[in-house]
């Protein structure tokens, strides 16, 4: 895994370049990385993004942003992990010390997604593009693999926080299917 450090204030394309070349999709991924670095783990590292069609997960927090007027444009943001890795996000976000992925930890990951999505749609709103944000959802259970499929590309950015892998997933204008 080729690891990359992150410096706040860097140009978005220098931080991360998704193969889609879509400025807004890339901005969503970079904004998520910057938010995680600022509020969760200052020393997080990440690998270059992977373009995939389906993703197998144990735990997955997910949120969708849909353009208000036309509904033609949408973005999704997900955070996924195995075992207790998502506690590396939940615990610092709510300043707790969960030892298992319980209801409260799942709720914390969903609220983290909500904050990142809120920042993203606020930036788009400043450009005159209005989006609605869905209620975040959490899927999965320990030791049970489920699939996240898309009719478009899923971009996966592997992140390491304290040697625990967490995947950041983004899609654009895709119909996604989440489940077993």
Place of tokens 């389906």: 54
pLDDT of 85:
95
Of 50-64, 102-116, 146-160, least confident by mean pLDDT is 146-160
Q: 6 lies in a domain?
A: no
pLDDT higher than threshold 50 for residue 5: no
CA angle 134, 26, 95 (to 5 degrees): 60
Residues 105/90, Cβ–Cβ less than 8 Å: yes
Distance (Å, whole) CA 42 – CA 133: 27
Residue 36 domain flag: yes
Mean pLDDT is lowest, of 41-45, 100-104, 105-109, 175-179, for 175-179
**Has residue 62 been placed in a domain?**
yes
In this structure, is residue 7 part of a structural domain? no
Task: Residue 159: give the domain boundaries.
Answer: 12-179
pLDDT at 95: 96
* Domain count within the chain: 1
Query: Residue 64 falls within a domain, yes or no?
Result: yes
What CATH number does the domain containing 34 carry?
3.40.1550.10
**What's the pLDDT tens digit per position in 7-32?**
444 444 455 667 666 788 888 998 99
Pairwise CA distance, residues 18 & 33, whole Å: 13
pTM attached to this predicted model: 0.88
Q: Does residue 133 sit within a domain?
A: yes
Contacts of 98 (CB under 8 A, 6+ apart): 87, 90, 91, 104, 105, 108
Rounded to the nearest integer, the mean pLDDT of the chain is 85
For residue 11, what pLDDT is reported?
45
Tens digit of pLDDT for each residue in 85-140? 999 999 999 999 999 999 999 999 999 999 999 999 999 999 898 999 999 999 98
Q: How many angstroms from the chain centroid is the CA of residue 8?
A: 18
How many Å apart are CA 153 and CA 44, to the nearest integer?
Answer: 25
Contact 91, 171 (CB under 8 A): no
Q: Residue 105: what pLDDT?
A: 96
Q: Torsions phi, psi of 140, nearest 5?
A: 105, 170
The pairing of beta strand 59-67 with beta strand 164-172: unpaired
């Amino acid at each position: 895994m080729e690891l990359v450090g992150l410096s706040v204030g860097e140009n978005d394309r220098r931080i991360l370049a998704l193969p889609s070349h879509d400025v807004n999709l890339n901005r969503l991924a970079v904004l998520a990385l910057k938010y995680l670095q600022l509020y969760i783990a200052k020393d997080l590292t990440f690998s270059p993004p992977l373009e995939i069609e389906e993703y197998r997960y144990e735990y997955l927090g997910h949120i969708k942003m849909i353009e208000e007027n036309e509904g033609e444009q949408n973005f999704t943001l997900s955070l996924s992990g195995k075992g207790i890795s998502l506690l590396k996000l939940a615990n610092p976000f709510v300043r707790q010390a969960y030892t298992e992925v319980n209801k409260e930890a799942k709720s914390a990951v969903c609220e983290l997604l909500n904050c990142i999505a809120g920042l993203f749609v606020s930036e788009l709103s400043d450009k005159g593009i209005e989006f609605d944000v869905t209620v975040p959802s959490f899927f999965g259970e320990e030791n049970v693999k489920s699939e996240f499929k898309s009719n478009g590309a899923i971009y996966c950015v592997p992140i390491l926080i304290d040697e625990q892998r967490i995947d950041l997933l983004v899609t654009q204008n895709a119909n996604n299917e989440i489940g077993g």
